[in-house]
Amino acid sequence: MLLVSEPILGEDEKAALCAVIDSNWITMGSRVQAFEKAFATAHGMTEGVAVNSCTAGLHLALAVLGVGPGDEVLVPSLSFVATANAVVYCGATPVFVDIGSPEVPLMSVEDAATRCTERTKAVIVMHYAGYLVDADEWREFADKRGLFLIEDSAHAVGAARSRIFGDIAVFSFFGNKNMTTAEGGMILGANEKMMDEFRRGRGHGMTTSTVQRLNGQGTYDVTMLGFNYRMTELSAALGLVQLEKLSGWNARRKTLSLQYRELLTGSGIGVPFATQSLSTHHIFPVLLPESADRGLVIAALRQEGIQTSFHYPPIHLLSWYLDRNPGVRLPVTEMFASRELTLPLHPKMEDAQVEHVTRALRRTLAHSAEPS
């Protein structure tokens, strides 16, 4: 089966994990620190705080920023459920925002403006499929209203940009992302005081770390309500190895995406982001023709050994959210999500597999368009 995504793991990763075992220091040590530094530097920043998932990072960030009951946070509905869950964990209310268009399915700044109230405290943008949202537009939007700007950068790992533009950006290293630590995440930001609080908050709010106490710094105090969102040395060791390979993998993702784009030209299948080039090419979403039966297309591709998936069932239509907010309508998101299909894309793929997928897709659509 050709999978939608696959991690790349090999001898380098095995050696890195063995070295951690041999060191007998398995969490929050020198590898976590080295990974934080290396990842921050690769993204034009000086400081990073490693956590055990992107979800944990988003929650920790919102908690430290003081987002709580009565506050509203603008979020895209076309995202993974974690983006909104992090807001709910804080007792605040996620306010769902529509995408701009099916051609550029990123959160719309115009729609966000109409959904602002005096309770709006922050906005979380998401770089869908790896295509970066407009930095200037969102910075201005947030600054004008005094809102925190948070980048859910789960899809934007290794983006070739000079630095982050949000107050913070949170990245994911889950197994299906552009690089992996099995589970893991990273918070990047420029505000040192805030970064200090993230560092303390991921370890129960304790004022000293295990390493510091080992080095004779006495006992500890707890000065904030923290969490256990620590990263292990095993994860950090994987991260250091994977980070070295990231730009090569992202370049391969780009080549494969361009090949897909070319082979789908004139097929009646929509490929978003035709005019955007800056991307990490995390996934390859396409828009099926309105006439196509998506269930049949998925089944036909499966017959040919091709897995597909959706990005995403809109969060506001998931039962838990729908039950609490039945009135939310996001017409562009709903239309896009009803026709979207995500094709396989990962650096292990061969050119011939892209041809196989596009041929199968074209054939399936030709059949499904025939009158029965």
- 279 near ligand PLP (CB under 6 A): no
Whether 121 sits among the annotated catalytic residues: the reply is no
- The span from the CA of 278 to the CA of 132, in Å, is 7
240 binds ligand PLP (CB under 6 A): no
Shortest Cβ 52–ligand PLP spacing (Å)? 8
Q: Which of 184, 139, 149, 183 is nearest to 169 (CA)?
A: 149
Residues near 313 by Cβ (< 8 Å), separated by ≥ 6? 337
Residue 216 Ramachandran class (φ > 0 left, ψ -120 to 50 alpha, else beta)? left
233 binds ligand PLP (CB under 6 A): no
How far is 219 from 176, CA to CA, in rounded Å?
40
CA-to-CA dists, residue 367 to 113, 115, 143, 364, angstroms: 44, 43, 51, 5
- Strand partners for 340: 287
Q: Which is nearer to ligand PLP, 81 or 332 (CB)?
A: 81
- Nearest approach in angstroms of CB 344 to ligand PLP is 17
- The contact mask relative to ligand PLP for 102-141 (x = CB under 6 A, - = no) is ------------------------x---------------
Q: Which one of the listed residues 14, 121, 144, 177 is annotated catalytic?
A: 177
- CB 170 to ligand PLP: min, Å: 8
Q: Contact, 171 vs 153, CB < 8 A?
A: yes
Rounded Cα distance between 321 and 340, Å, is 21
User: Which CB, 201 or 360, lies closer to ligand PLP?
Assistant: 201
- Count of other CB atoms within 10 angstroms of residue 162: 8
Residues 28-57 that bind ligand PLP (CB under 6 A): 53-55
Alpha helices in 1-53 (DSSP H): 11-23, 30-42
Distance, CA of 318 to CA of 273 (rounded, Å): 26
* Binding flag, residue 152, ligand PLP (CB under 6 A): yes
Report the alpha-carbon distance of residue 214 to residue 166 in Å, rounded. Answer: 36
Residue 155 makes contact with ligand PLP by CB under 6 A: yes
Would you say 185 or 189 has its CB closer to ligand PLP? Answer: 185
Identify which range of 74-82, 90-98, 206-214, 257-265 contacts ligand PLP by CB under 6 A: 74-82
In the bound complex, what is the minimum distance in angstroms from residue 127's beta carbon to ligand PLP? 8
Give the interface segment with ligand PLP, choosing from 152-160, 230-238, 300-308, 330-338 (CB under 6 A): 152-160
Closer by beta carbon to ligand PLP, 111 or else 152: 152
Task: From 268, 255, 250, select the one nearest 354 (Cα to Cα).
Answer: 255
Closer of 42 and 206 to ligand PLP (Cβ): 42
Distance, in Å, from the CA atom of 142 to the CA atom of 205, rounded to the nearest integer, reads 28
Among 42, 61, 75, 82, binds ligand PLP (CB under 6 A): 82
Regarding 80 and contact with ligand PLP (CB under 6 A), the answer is yes
Roughly how many angstroms between the first and final C-alpha of the chain, as a whole number? 30
Q: Does 172 engage in binding with ligand PLP (CB under 6 A)? A: yes
In the complex, minimum distance from the CB of residue 129 to ligand PLP, in angstroms, rounded to a whole number? 10
Choice between 82 and 271, CB closer to ligand PLP: 82
Residues near ligand PLP (CB under 6 A) are 53-55, 79-80, 82-83, 126, 152, 154-155, 172, 174, 185
Active-site amino acid positions: 177
